[in-house]
């Protein structure tokens, strides 16, 4: 996409915080605060780290991986869903989702109406993740204000770079 006077710039932000291990409710409240802050700065898409909702804690994943499972429509996500709606921010948040093959290490996209509009499961698991999760089987692309954005989680990018699949012009 070439930039010109008619092209809208998309403001994308990255969020980082110390997650509460295994507490989706506590971390959703932190997400809410960060979405509010980002919205006040004019951010339109806010991206959180992998497993940002339950926290990336190997002790929790070893002992009780079900504590990392996110219910996209559940009450625990209401604070961050409301923050997306209130601030007109699209948020990409991390959690685990059940699928027919097991547990996916997932990204959930919450749109400006506060709805989970897309999900993506990490395709290239690294190290211990292979014991906790099943790999995703397809990519995911979203569109925000005419910008097409592909989702990837951590090692997905390293895997692509190592094989020279990603080329820049």
Within 13 A of 45's CA, how many CA atoms are on the CB side? 18
Q: pLDDT digit string (tens) for 116-154?
A: 999 999 999 989 999 999 999 999 999 999 999 999 998
What proportions of the chain, in percent to the nearest 5, are helix, strand and coil?
30, 25, 45
Q: Any catalytic annotation for residue 32?
A: no
Identify the residue whose tokens are 């002992």: 63
Residue tagged active-site, from 32, 68, 84, 122: 122
Residue tagged active-site, from 44, 50, 76, 129: 50
Output the CATH code of domain 12-162: 3.60.110.10
Q: Any catalytic annotation for residue 154?
A: yes
What pLDDT, on a 0 to 100 scale, did the predictor assign at position 86?
A: 98
Q: Any catalytic annotation for residue 117?
A: no
pLDDT above 70: residue 1: no
pTM, two decimal places: 0.89
Q: At 136, is the secondary structure helix, strand, or coil?
A: coil
Q: pLDDT digit string (tens) for 26-46?
A: 999 999 999 999 999 999 999
């Amino acid at each position: 996409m070439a930039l010109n006077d008619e092209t809208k710039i998309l403001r994308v932000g990255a969020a980082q915080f110390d997650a509460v291990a295994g507490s989706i409710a506590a971390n959703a409240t932190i997400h809410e605060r960060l979405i509010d802050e980002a919205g006040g700065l004019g951010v339109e898409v806010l991206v959180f780290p992998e497993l940002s909702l339950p926290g990336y804690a190997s002790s929790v994943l070893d002992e009780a991986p079900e504590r990392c499972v996110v219910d996209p429509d559940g009450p625990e996500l209401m604070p961050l869903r409301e923050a997306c709606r209130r601030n007109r921010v699209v948020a990409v948040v991390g959690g685990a989702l059940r699928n027919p093959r097991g547990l996916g290490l997932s990204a959930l996209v919450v749109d400006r109406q506060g709805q989970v509009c897309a999900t993506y499961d990490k395709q290239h698991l690294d190290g211990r993740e292979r014991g906790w999760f099943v790999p995703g089987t397809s990519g995911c692309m979203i569109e925000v204000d005419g910008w097409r954005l592909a989702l990837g989680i951590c090692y997905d990018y390293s895997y692509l770079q190592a094989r020279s699949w990603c080329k820049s012009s």
